[in-house]
Amino acid sequence: MVDQETWENTVLQKLELPNGVIASNRIMRAATWMGQAEEDGIIGNTIIETYSKIRAGVVVTGFQYVMYEGQSIRRMVSNSKPSDVEGLKRLAGIIHSSGSLAAAQLVHCGSTSLPKYSGNDVYGPSDMEFPDPKGDTVQVKAMTVNHVEEVTQAYADAAKRAVEAGFDVIELHGAHNYGLWQFFDPTYNKRPVNDPYTGSTIEGRCKAMVDAVRAVKSAVDVPIQVKVDSSSKTVRPEEVGELTKKLAEAGAYCVIFSGPNPTQSPKDAGEAYFLDDAMVIRSIAHDSGLLFGLVGGIRSPETVVKLLTGDGNSAAAFDVIQLSRPLISEPALVHRWTEEAKVGKQEPARCISCNRCFGAGFKGKVQCVQFEGE
């Protein structure tokens, strides 16, 4: 049970971003693809209606593709051409209308992009065969150095469009086996030692993500956060610690720790299931000046407060918490918890992490199926 005073002194503490812009609390809505863009990634009334209900200190959009070829799933939002600014303005506007700050998550999905968006050739760090969601084999071609530089520039151009549209924060998607993570992870990056993005050195593996932060930093004057995996089968958290330090040097203000298999059930994996790896990374990057965020299976107000206070050890405290599935089910969950704190009885998120919201996205749009109709 979290008492009202503790709730106010932790979760409802304002978060001042490096440019002085203030988020009203420490909970961010994690980037969540809603499968609700119109054809060609256009923002229409359906997605605007969905975002009108979400309440959080910062609302991070679902991943927006920065190049047409970099899409991995249907009905992603496009941020790949000048005419996208109009729709992005509506999106930032509706997020602001509830008092939240708006963050645009940017992605090029690399090897996991779908061939239909790239004229059949899928591009990633290295030549490889990749299973697509239907079980077919996709032949991935290694990007040339020029191509990687074009993608880096596409991140900067997309960030410019997002800021022109009114977004307050840029989040780079450096996790979940998409493009930027692929360059970091030797599973995907087998580029030779004489290549600037080589998979054989930590510098080469970090370069695509670090360059993307630098390019966005020089294009726009808003805070940049990066979502990274905290480990993988072939990456140790200690290596992510080195990456995290480089992201800070490049100009990121905050790193959010996720992981492979991001949508586990906290019943099986425990709440906050990336915490242990995240703590290893933090111990390496502790004096980088970064803010730290955590996502993955956080479900109860008690856990949120424990994470924000370090459970009594301020050196272990996180600055922000991200929630995804709980806010699909209850978009105003943070408001509910705040009201319940006033009467001394907070119930955990009702989300049971069944992931049927994802399945609904493939059929129509992402929504909570468990409590449909309530």
Ligand X SMILES: Cc1cc2nc3c(=O)[nH]c(=O)nc-3n(C[C@H](O)[C@H](O)[C@H](O)COP(=O)(O)O)c2cc1C
Nearer to ligand X, 142 or 154 (CB): 154
Among residues 348, 344, 309, the alpha carbon closest in space to that of 4 is found at: 344
Identity of the residue, 99 or 359, whose beta carbon is nearer to ligand X in the bound complex = 359
For position 62 contacting ligand X by CB under 6 A, the verdict is yes
> Is position 30 an interface residue for ligand X (rule: CB under 6 A)?
yes
Residue 324 near ligand X by CB under 6 A: yes
Strand partners, 139: 129
Tokens 């998550």 appear where? 105
- Among residues 117, 56, 112, 61, which one has the least CA distance to residue 88? 61
Phi, psi angle pair for 38, to nearest 5°: -80, 180
- Cβ 295 to ligand X shortest distance, Å: 4
Neighbours of 200 (CB within 10 A): 15
Determine how many CB atoms are found less than 10 A away from the CB of residue 300: 18
DSSP per position, 166-209: T-SEEEEEE-TTSHHHHHHSTTT----TTSTT-TTSHHHHHHHH
All residues at 6 or more sequence positions from 327 whose CB lies less than 8 Å from its CB, including other chains: 29, 30, 32, 54, 56, 333
Per CB under 6 A, the segment of 17-25, 157-165, 170-178, 190-198 that binds ligand X is 170-178
Nearest-approach distance from CB 193 to ligand X, in angstroms: 31
* Residue 325 touching ligand X (CB under 6 A): yes
Binding window for ligand X (CB under 6 A); candidates: 5-13, 127-135, 169-177, 214-222: 169-177
Contact call for residues 259 and 277 (beta carbons, < 8 A)? yes
Question: Binding to ligand X by residue 182, rule CB under 6 A?
Answer: no
Ranges within 106-145 binding ligand X (CB under 6 A): none
Max CA pair span of the chain: 63
Which among 26-34, 36-44, 202-210, 241-249 is the span making contact with ligand X, rule CB under 6 A? 26-34
Minimum CB distance to ligand X, residue 367 (Å) = 9
Residue from 105, 111, 112, 231 that binds ligand X (CB under 6 A)? 105
Site string for ligand X, 261-300 (x = CB under 6 A): -xx-------------------------------xxxx--
Residue in 17, 31, 95, 154 binding ligand X, rule: CB under 6 A? 31
Show the tokens assigned to 136. 């077919």
Would you tell me which residues interact with ligand X (CB under 6 A)?
30-33, 62-63, 105, 173, 175-176, 227, 258, 262-263, 295-298, 323-326, 357-358, 361, 366
